[in-house]
Structure 1
Amino acid sequence: MTEQIGTNAGLVWEVLRASKKPMTDKEIKSATKISTLRDVHFALGWLSREDKLVFEEGAGVTVRLK
């Protein structure tokens, strides 16, 4: 499972790197084709632990790279 989380974290990082705007977890799921929001959240946790993300709160929570 840890290997899959790391792989998904790489997919999320690539999508966020290419994005011109912060993204929601659902937008990330759609762009990466990761199968579940739970798996997206695991990947976001991985990247967050590596201090690579900024979470922004507004109408909802969005994520962007630092």
Structure 2
Amino acid sequence: MNAPGLPEPAFNLWFAALGRLAAEQDLGWLAAAPGQSHHAAFAAGLTPAEYLESYAAMAEWRGCGG
């Protein structure tokens, strides 16, 4: 998925880093496939760690995942 105006190679590197971090924390399901929220976080300048932290906290609060 290529969001308008975003450099796809840079996003791919960002998403790969997100996937590695998610796997290390047993949260791989959060980075299973790139989606609109991933592109929005990348465009907003969030690091993969910042994005993962915010979604992991929300998922835990909602009782999702492991």
Give the TM-score of the pair, scaled to structure 1: 0.35
More strand by share: 1
More helix by share: 2
Higher radius of gyration, 1 or 2 = 2
Give the TM-score of the pair, scaled to structure 2: 0.35
